[in-house]
Structure formats: C-alpha cells, structure tokens
Structure 1
C-alpha cells in the first residue's frame, strides 16, 4: 500500500485460498477438482501477479481426496514445480512433521521458514505499535507501564501460550473490561441504590405496624432514606458527567485516527495539498480538542473518580490473576522487599530450623536475582528428621509465602509407589497401555498449575 516493498513484489496481489469453502458441498467426484482447477487457472493466467496464501497449510494434504479422486496437494505439485504458482503456507511444526514431511515430493517444493516466538522486548515494541488501535476501539487509554506489564507478566506466568498473542489478549481483555465498567453503573452508586431499595422495602413493612417502636423506626428510616437518595442523586450526576466526558474523549480520538488515515492515503497518492491541509489544519484542531477534553475529565475527577478510563499495571495483573489463579497483590509487590523479609515470614510459622529456612530462602533469592542456571530447578531439598520437627510445615509455609496458598504444592505419598509398575501413576501410562490419555498424578498437576 505504501510502496515500501522490494521492486520484484510491487503490484503483486496476495490472495487467501479457502480450501474449506471449496470442499463444502462438493457431493460428486470431480466437483472439488473442478473448483480448485478453476481457481488455479485464474492464478496461472495472472502470470505471477498473484501470490497465494494458505493458512493451515497441512490441510492441503488429503483435502478433497475421495475414492479415485485427487487431493489438493497433488494438484498443486505440477504448478509449484513449473514455478507458475507462488504459494505461502502457514502451519505449526507438529502439523508440518505429521502431514507435509511425509509427502517428500510436496515438501521439496517449499522452503521452510521458522518463525520464532518474539522476545519480551520485541513484544513490548509490537504492543506499543498496536496500542493506539485498541485505545480507539475500546475508548480507553492504555498506559505504557500496562504495556510493559502485559509483556512481562504473560511471559512469566502464562506458559501454555505464545508471545505476542497472549500479551495482546491481556491488553484487549483489560481494555474491554474497563470499557464494560465505564458503561455499567459504578459499584459505589450501585451499593447506595441497593441500600435505598432495601430501606424502601422495610418502610413499606413498617407502615403496616401500629406500635410505638415501629413508628419511631419508620421516622428514623425516612431520614436515612432522604440522605441516601440525596447521595445517590449526587453520585448519579457525577457518573453521567464523567461518562459524557469519556465518550467525548473517545469520539475525538476516533476522529484523530480517521484523520491520520486520510493523511496517509493522501500522501500515498502524492496529494500533498490535502495532506498538508489535514495535518496542519484538521489534525491540530482535533489535538487541541483532545487536550481540552482530557483537562475537563481531570477537573471532573479531581474530587475522586467514579470511572477509570486508563488501563494500568493493576488491571493487567488482575486479568493474569483471573487466568492463572495467581494472587494479584503478590504480582505487584516489590520483588526485593518480598524476598528480603522471606526468613521472617517463614519463621512466623516454623519455629527454629534456622539452617533449613536460610538455605531455602537463599535458593529462592538466587533464582529471582537471575544468578542461577535457568535450565535447572530453583532448588531440590531433602528435609531429614524425626516426626513433628516441621518438615511438612516448612514446605506448606513456603507454598503460602510464594503463592498465598499453602495448598499450592503437590503432595506425593511415596508409600503408594513401592511396586515397580506404580510409577505409571506418577508420570502417566506409556503409549498403548490403559490410561495413556489421562496423564499422571504429578504431570497433570504440573500441567494445570505450572507456576
């Protein structure tokens, strides 16, 4: 679009080929081949001007294959061999090994390009580029510390997904949650309105009573209701004003985004007059309006805010907490302060055992400071001693200190594993045996809560 491509790729079109739509409804033999052949003929006739993109590339192997029919892979091979078809495929390593590597003739038509997972630093750069689009879409502001928190916390605590996908989802969910809160009644106002409803129900019940105590309570209740209704009216007014200010802010941001797109479009067409008029006229005016809208919102929220309009690290940590079950407060507490008071925290429950507590604390501190080999465990300890001296208690206390929950540990009773065959209960049965799909007591527990 911007012309920022090598000369050989200029004017090329990228077209996604939807194999699922081609296979859908193909009832008779040859129907799928006819559809695919027609699409491929159009691509070949374009004489290299079309680059085909195939998502889930492994579906090509066997797609449309029925009794006596050809599959899509075999139909693509001649075109790929002659260089008439330029094809980009995307698939996972597992699917590539499982489907494409088995078909050697198809595999050698392609040059594999491994796309590595980006680092945390690269993810932060990606998020900074995407941030503005999410701000305009959700109508909230995303702070830079929130972007950094999304990349670092997702890399550390969400182990079953990849960057930058999981970090983008964190930002998206946190912004969507904040937008929902802005559109909903604030909690403070909701509590007051519920109290009013409760007291009104009580008032209606007291009106039916004739005794003196009930009449006194009714008079007192009327006073409470009047105060609460006044407070509710004030809060409602503040809420509506803040909501309108945030909506105005969102509208201006949307207009700025639209103006920037128009400037880019004009610059691509070399319409410099329009680009200059938009950049130095409309855009500057909108930026002034944005500054005024932000100032107005700050003035409204000076006496305490009912609505929050910016995503900060606390919001991100709350989402991570919901996804993984890790307590939010622990994520945001300064790591240094937390580790410096580790011995005192452990000694609150474990009396004595100075050496054991010190060794465990030092191991955890070493790992957190990054002085330890990342490919080795934080620590492996054998607590030896007679019954009742605090071996299990120290393990429980350590789990409580690190995860705010003493049950956050996997307890294995080794008396259950005396027989040779019982080890399969620990790590799962080998392929071909009963229970292979179920996993072991240890492996399943670690997979579900890897942190």
Structure 2
C-alpha cells in the first residue's frame, strides 16, 4: 500500500488519502466457524437505528454503477445547460443583435429563446436532482439533554416498531469505508468483517488521512503489522456480521453524542480502535495513547463542526433583524447608546464573533440564572479564562434564538466604560451612563453587557457609577451580564451596592482536554496566517508547557498566544507549510525561561551522565552532596519528578565555609544556565512571627519572597541559616515543599514548582567536626543529627519534605590546597580579560593554602588571604602602571609577585 501524506507539508486541504486497499489483500486457508447472530443498534427517541443492508460484491458493484450513472447524468445535464446558454448568447451577439432590442424577440418563438428555455428546463432538472438527493439523505437526530443510550444487540427486529437504517445517515466516505472493509475481508477469505477490516477501510478517507497527519504517523509504519494480523482470522464465506455492525452502531452513537448530522469515517475509525486491542497496541507502539487519539479525533470533529455551525448559524441569522428594531416593531432608536456601545448580536449576524467551544456547564448556569429570576449575573474569572468568549457565545445563541424566552428577539449590547468615563476626572460620566440606560429602558429589547464592571465603582470624581447602575437595575427594565476578576469582585463588587444585584458565576481555567479543544479550534487561522502545520503533539505540548511554565497567565489565552509565537518562529524559517513539532514548542519555552526542556540530545545526555565531574570543577570534595544534587537534576531533566512540587528540596548541613553556598551557585549555573539565577534569603532576618508579612505580604500586598518568585519563577531559592527562622515561617516552607505554591497577601497564588529549594543550616556543626575527626561516616553523622539535634529545631514532617539532607564535612588541608588552585585560576581569568598573563608556582599556592586554612571557618579565610596577598598587590601594579597588556605576573612564595615585561614589538 503506498504511503499517504508523504511529505506532510500542507494543511488539511492538501492531505492526500492513501490508495486503498490492494496491498492488504491476503489469502488464508479455509475452515468453518460460528458467526454470532443478532441486531446491534442504538435506540434514539423510540427509534431503533441499525445496519440493515446485506453486503455482497454484486450489491456494492450495483451501487457504484448507480453512482456513476447519476454523476454522468448530472455532468451531461450541466454540459447541456452551458451549451444551450452559449448558443443563445452567441446567436444574440453574432446573428440577431438588433432583434434582441425588440420585445417580440423575447416573447416570440425562435431558436434563441428555445435554447434559453431548454437551458432553464435542464437547470431546473439538475436543481431537482440535487435537492432530491439532499432530501433522501437523512440526518442524525439532534441530541436533547445529556443522556445517550448504549449500543444494544437485540435477537429480533419484529418487536421493534420503528426502525431506521444507519446507512441512510452515512457520508459517502463512510459508505465507501464499509465497502472497503468488506472487500478486504472477502479477498482474504475471512468469515466475518472484523474491527481491523473497518479500521483499514477508513484509511482511504480524507478525515482519517488528516488524523494520521495530525498524529505525526504514516501508514507505512503500521502496514506490515496490519498485513500479518489480517492473515490470522478464521476463514469462511464473508458476512458483515454482528461485530462489524456493533462498530457501525457505536459510530452512530458517537455521532449522535457529538451532535454530528451524519456518520463519518472518524467515528468508525475511533470505534474500531476502541473495539480491537491489537489496534490499540499498534498505535501505542507509535506513542499514540487512547486519550491522545480521542483529542486528535476531536480536532477533526471541531473543524467539521465549525463549518457546519457557521452554515446553520448564517441560515438562522437571516431571520434576526440587523437593525435596532425587533420583529414586533416595538423598539425605539438608541442614538446615544450606539455611540458608547457595541451591538454584539449585530456582530454575530455578520459572523464577526468567534464560536464558543465547550463551556456548556457555564453557559447553562448563566442562562439558568437569567431565566430563573430575570436576574443580572457577573462572570468572575482571571484574565484569559474566556469571559468574553462566553459572552460571544450568548450573542450567537440569541441570534439563533436558542435561548430562554426572556432573551429572545433582543439585542446584546456591550457598553464601553472608557466611553462613559471619557473626560479627565470623569466629568459628566453619571449623565452619560444615565442617558445610555434610559435609551435601553425605552427600547425594551436590549440586554446589557458591562466588562470589568468593577471599574464603575468609585469612579468619576467621587460619583460612584455603581450606585447609578444599581438604582436603574432595581427598576427591572433590563438586566446586565457583567465580568470582573476575582480581585475585582472580592475587593470592590462584593462590598458595593452592586453585589446584591449580581449573581456570581465563577469561571475557572478549562480542564486540559477542554483547553486542547479550544486551541484546536483556533489553530486553523494560525496555520493559514503563518503557512505552517501543527501536529497534535505540538498542540498538547503548548497546553502542557504553558500550564507548567507560564503560571502567571491563564488558559486558554496563554496557549493561543504561545501557539502564535511558535507558528511565527517556525514560519520565519522560510519553508512553507513546515510542520510544528513538540520540540519547536519546547525551544520557545526554553528561550523564555532558560529551563532546559527540549529533548535530551546525545551530547547533552553525556553531560548529564557526567554531571558530577562538571560540578567538581567548582566544588572540592563533598562527594555525597554532589552525587545527590546531580541525581536530582538528572531526574528533573528527563521529567521523572512530581510536577506539583519544587524541582528539588535540599537541606545542607555543615560548618561554615565548606561549600554549601558554592554548591547552590553551581546548581543554579548547571540547571538554569546562570549562577545569578538565584534568590537568596538570610533567614536570620526572619526570627519573629511578624516576619511572615515581610515574606508573603500583608493584606492586599505582595511580599519579598512571593514577589521575588513571581518575578523570577525559574530560579534557585537559597535559604541561609534556616534554623534561625521563626517556626511559623518554617510552616510556610513546609507548604512550599509539599504543594509547590504559596498565596500572598493580595490573594495571588505564587507557583514554586519550577524552583530548586536549598536550605543551609549550621545546626550540629561542632558534632560534625568532632565525628569527622573520629572517622565516623557522613551517613552515621546524618542519622544521629536527624534523630537528635535536628528534631529540636525542625518538626519530623518538615524534615521529611526534603528530597535529601546532606552533611558537608569540614575541609582538610588537601581540600584547601585544591580550592586555592581554583581561586588562583579565577584570578588568571580576570587578568586574561585585561590581556595580562598570571602564573603561580605550586609552592606559592601551597603557601596561600597554609595561611588560609582554618578547620573552623573552612575556605573563607583563604579567600581573605588571596585578596590581601594577591589581589591587593595586582591592583597596586595596575594603578602604578607597572604592568600592561602582554606582560606576565609571576606569583612566588610569601606573596611575592614579579613582573615579566613583554618583548618589544
């Protein structure tokens, strides 16, 4: 079987289906089997829908001949129409141009008029045939309510009074898929058409070809396994039995559930997949899981639904007045209101509003609240969750008149607050609002929309416009559909006079699958604009990555924005209709966050496997701590960690100056690409309970910690001397380590899931030093500290939240020598940038290490010694002009520095 979607470089419109199904013809030996009997079907409103046709090769051939004959008749009739019109026009222009100006010519009997009338008759005949075909094509009933019956198999059709053939609601492609499945089964000598045959039969259809393209797979990847599987079925005289009819009935159920007018190949494909474990395992081997297939299939349904809904919407909209007048001609003109508002129903009539995808529950809640008590509502949700989209959906429903009676034959008008409060200080705002509301009252056919209604409260130079609106709402001549944010509602609306007039409807972020569907409905426009093609994997990645790494914004808006950015980036590569992959999405996110989330390549994989070596370039000793941190970073890089907690939580124990802070800086550099990607808090400054407000903010305020993480969510959070913090502050970090979030004083939830949390503590320092001198292992030291000294400072549940508690041992003389070499190397790098060579003898380095060694304070005295002995001397040389570019500085014992001047050029 030839490959389909060979290049996969075009949009849905240019995806070529596979040739089907010659390559899958199989021959097997014959034996007798039992065929299950019965009549599978679906009961809808008292009517039993089932497959009635008995498939045979002659019946299939007869249908194809009938289709070809009908097509030939239509083509021939169309040719006659065009020929007759052409003859009439040529005759008028070339033969009888003068006679055409006389009335008798048009009402008389002549060849030209006979040709025209013949063309009209042929055109009417053609129109009749098209309409007759449409009338014979039944539609699936529209789902009423939410309950759908399951497919059932009955032993006999005699007891069923009303029966309908499912074949009457099939698309042409679905009918051909059934016949293809029967053909494959019969060619293979199979006794019964199985789900795999129907699966294969659908592959020649455009929707399934598009589905494969969206999933990023080709038929060549599965055809060998499919061919082998087809040879395993029992032989016999092929029948379209119960198993195949169950697939058709199940596809009918899905079509009914998703409110599709006809049964298409996508539903048959999905039902065959659900019925056959082999197909499921086959696609699973290509990394296509059931949920992914369902969402990708929903993408195809949504695109079909958008087209169908638009056509039906335009038909229904033709009955909706586009002027300000209602059908009863009782409304009045609203000239001032028209200047300060937008008529959303008029926009909907002309198709200028986006169609609402999902949100059925929220829409029902809104309509129920309005219908129940003629009450105004306020939609409360964060920016970007889709409040405006729901209002657009209400406008469309009002145009279609598929709304409660209280909303029928009315206009949905959105008042612009900036237009109402137009002058500086809001002078005249009260009068403008009253004028608009009075026109609404006189018209009698207007429902008002006010977005960001919290902006009305306390505006206009001391005049509270909310009280004006509230008093007008009490009169009952209109009601309002308003929007606001959670902060706007709790801080303003709830405490104002409007709070009692508006019923609160909360809008949360859509669930993952709903967000995917919303994005799928927007992808077509983004693809056409940027000349790219999105795979389903890319769409799902946009939802997942934006949810994980763009916590400040809300779905679905942030996903749409990210999709546009990714499409623009891929489109600028120059190749038209390039495919957008998950890696493209990951690349954009990585650029934004400096967090490595693209697929691990071979080179990066090698670096991750040898992460300890890289970290030891900056850290001397401390093997246990380095190994634990490196292992944690490897797990995070391949996403083997909980997404609801920080990337890692570590507690570093040990004396001062042994490398705890240096390991934190190294971790920030390795994972976030910069050692400055670190938020550092000295917990000795937060020793009382009142310090909580400093960290998370008081009422209505942001805090130092929460604001720092909000502004820099991808960073290492270092908590120095954690043991000195107040116990209530430790409880805050218990929540951070457990849930990955904190709520600040202004009510915002701050995300900590992309933070590496490292706390340092000097607790048990003396014990650690003593035990190391005795030769005790670090594991024994840690175990003792966990059971004794640490318990007096931290609660057990707090300690258990750390992914690792690392004990840093005191530095030995050899460790300090190695650290001295590292510090001298940094001096070399700083001077190299100035064009000066710096060299230090081994004797000089050992001398520095000896002077800077202090078991109690670790490497910190060494840093001071190098500053006083080396850095100060070099600074004097530079200021005195004793050293310049190309010169060499030689460091000897006792801090003696010699200058070797470069050779003259």
After TM superposition, the score normalised by the length of structure 2 is 0.30
- Is 1:405 the counterpart of 2:704? The answer is no
User: Which structure shows the higher helix fraction?
Assistant: 1
Q: Tell me which residue corresponds to 2:710.
A: 447
Aligned equivalent of 1:93, options 486, 500, 503: 486
Equivalent in 519, 522, 528 of residue 130 of structure 1: 522
Q: In structure 2, how many angstroms separate the alpha carbons of the residues matched to 1:426 and 1:72?
A: 35
Residue matched to 2:452 = 56
Q: How many aligned positions are there?
A: 311
Deviation at 1:32, TM superposition (A): 3.7
In structure 1, the residue matched to 2:742 is none
Structure 2 counterpart of 1:22:
420
Aligned-residue offset at 1:5: 3.0
Alignment of 1:267-282 (within 5 A): none
Name 1:148's counterpart in structure 2: 540
> Structure 1 pair 106/446, CA: closer, same or farther in 2 (3 Å)?
closer
Once the 2 structures are TM-superposed, how far is the Cα of residue 125 of structure 1 from its aligned partner?
Answer: 1.7
How much has 1:174 moved relative to structure 2?
2.3
User: CA separation in 2, counterparts of 1:129 and 1:332?
Assistant: 26
Higher relative contact order, chain-length normalized (CA < 8 Å, sep 6+): 1
**Contact 1:100–1:107 (Cα < 8 Å) also in 2:** yes
The alignment yields a C-alpha RMSD, in angstroms, of: 4.1
Aligned-pair distance for 1:358? 4.7
CA offset digits 1:18-43 (Å, max 9, x no partner): 122123249997x4444323322232
Superposed displacement of residue 360, structure 1: 3.7
CA contact (8 A) 1:101 1:107 kept: yes
Residue 638 of structure 2 is aligned to residue 374 of structure 1: no
Distance 1:4 1:380, change over 3 A: farther
Displacement of 1:131 in angstroms is 0.4
Whether contact under 8 Å (1:174, 1:316) holds in the other structure is: yes
Partner of 2:434: 37
Please report how far the alpha carbon of residue 425 of structure 1 lies from its aligned counterpart in structure 2 after TM superposition. 12
- Please say if 1:316 is aligned against 2:709: no
Counterpart check, 1:349 vs 2:615:
yes
More displaced 10-residue stretch of structure 1: 363-372 or 166-175: 363-372
**SS of 1:332 mapped into structure 2:** coil
Instruction: Report the CA distance between 1:106 and its aligned residue.
Output: 1.6
- Structure 2: how far apart are the matches of 1:321 and 1:392? 26
**Are residues 331 and 391 of structure 1, via their aligned partners in 2, closer, same or farther at CA, if it must alter by over 3 Å?**
same
Q: Tell me, which stretches of 5 or more residues in structure 1 are unaligned? A: 183-241, 247-307
* Cα distance between partner residues in 2 of 1:370 and 1:53: 47
Distance 1:346 1:125, change over 3 A: farther
| Shift of residue 369, structure 1, vs aligned partner | 6.2
**1:393-415: CA deviations, max 9, x gaps?**
4333433342233333334566x
Whether the aligned pair in 2 keeps the contact of 1:57 and 1:90 (CA below 8 Å) is yes
Map of 2:654 onto structure 1: 384
Q: Greater share of strand residues, 1 or 2?
A: 2
SS at match of 2:678: coil
Q: For 2:663, which of 388, 394, 418 is the aligned residue? A: 394
Output one character per residue of 1:231-288: Cα deviation in whole Å (capped at 9) or x when no partner. Answer: xxxxxxxxxxx7xxx4xxxxxxxxxxxxxxxxxxxxxxxxxxxxxxxxxxxxxxxxxx
Mapped contact 2:696–2:706 kept (Cα < 8 A): no
| Separation in structure 1 between the aligned mates of residue 477 and residue 600 of structure 2, nearest angstrom | 60
1:118 and 2:515 equivalent?
Answer: no
Q: Residue in 2 aligned with 1:75? A: 468
Q: What secondary structure sits across from 1:374 in the alignment?
A: coil
Larger radius of gyration: 2
- Secondary structure at the counterpart of residue 162 of structure 1: coil
Q: CA deviation at 1:339?
A: 9.3
Instruction: Indicate how the Cα distance of structure 1 residues 413 and 40 shifts in structure 2: closer, same or farther if over 3 A, else same.
Output: closer
Residue 73 of structure 1: CA displacement? Answer: 1.8
1:17 Cα deviation from its structure 2 partner: 0.4
TM-score (ref. length: structure 1): 0.57
CA distance in 1, matches of 2:527, 2:643: 40
Query: Partner residue of 1:234?
Result: none
Determine which of 480, 495, 512 is the counterpart of 1:102: 495
- 1:331 is paired with a residue whose SS is coil
Taking the aligned partners of 1:427 and 1:376, their CA distance within structure 2 comes to 22
The equivalences for 1:153-192 within 5 A come to 153-180=545-572, 182=574
Q: CA deviation at 1:322?
A: 3.6
Contact 1:399 1:409 (C-alpha < 8 Å) held by counterparts: yes
Alpha-carbon distance in 1 for matches of 2:626, 2:695: 33
Provide Cα deviations, 1:145-190, integer angstroms capped at 9, x if missing partner. Answer: 22222111111112222222211111112223444554xxxxxxxx
